[in-house]
Amino acid sequence: MQSNNPAKSLTSRAKDAAARPGWTRASGQRIRVLIADDHAILRQALRRLLEGHPEVEVIGDAASGREAVAATEKLMPDVVLMDMVMPGLTGLEATRQIRKRFPKTRVLILTGYMEDEQIISALRAGASGYVVKRSDMEELLLGIQAVHRGNTYFSAAISDGDAVNQYLWQARKEDSKVGYELLTSREREVLQLIAEGYSNQRIAQELFISVKTVEAHKAHIMSKLHARNRTDLIRYALRKGLVGLDAPPDVVQEDEESRQAG
């Protein structure tokens, strides 16, 4: 597990890491990286920055969780840099699917969220590390190197040694799962699309299932999350960071059942 000392400069830690036997620059092998983020400018900036480092090879990028899973299957990267909030399929669910289907690929979360709940959820989904977007490039490179070696890495901005141990302990506690973590993979997909403003019919078309199946999934989701209507589900998704606040869905528009209940 990668240990972080906030008092130590990131540049110094990067130099220390480069001196370790596991540093790929010394071995001549490059780490094959896939970038997954729904903001094109950020993807392009990350690509340019990472391509300036000879130990890293950017082999592709993805604008959504679904694209990240498909690109992983096609390109088989060593490390996926994964944003948490993406349309269609969240970074958490994409991480879960990638780690289940391609266990040799490591996922390093790169996000603006710093809440404990998001960090623990990322670890439970199978992420090997968690870097916040306000970090500098040296720290991101350290994270890529660490997870590629099979270690766990956390940004210095969100953790110290005690916090890291607490995150890992919470992630292993099966009996502490509540709410979102009780949902099945398909239910998480349906919740994501509901939060993005999709109607039941559009969800059915997107997921290639029937409208009745969508309604059944929604009923199960509402039961598990103790939600009364579609608006409650949207608000829950916003609190959980499943959809971004920069483009919130119309929470006023509710489905037919919600209007009848009102």
CATH number of the domain at 231, please. 1.10.10.10
At what angle are helices 91-101 and 116-125 packed, to 10 degrees? 20
Domain annotation covers residue 214: yes
Which among 117, 55, 51 has a CA at the least distance from the CA of 84?
A: 117
DSSP 8-state code for residue 241 = T
Strands 129-132 and 106-111, by their bridges, are parallel
Q: Give the total residue count for the chain.
A: 262
pLDDT in tens, the chain (262 residues): 444 443 333 333 443 443 343 444 445 689 999 999 999 999 999 999 999 899 999 999 999 999 999 999 999 999 999 999 888 888 989 999 999 999 999 999 999 887 777 888 888 889 999 999 888 999 999 999 999 999 999 888 776 555 555 666 556 665 556 677 788 888 988 998 998 889 999 999 989 999 999 999 999 999 988 899 998 998 888 877 777 655 444 433 444 444 444 4
Helices (H) and strands (E) in the chain, counts: 13, 6
Do residue 28 and residue 141 come from a single domain?
yes
Separation of CA 40 from chain center = 17
Do residue 75 and residue 193 come from a single domain?
no
Domain that holds residue 24: 10-175
Q: Determine the Cα–Cα distance for residues 128 and 80; give it in Å rounded to an integer.
A: 10
Number of domains in the chain: 2
Do residue 149 and residue 63 come from a single domain?
yes
Do residue 20 and residue 124 come from a single domain?
yes
Which among 30, 39, 36 has a CA at the least distance from the CA of 67?
A: 36
Q: Residue 223 corresponds to which amino acid?
A: S
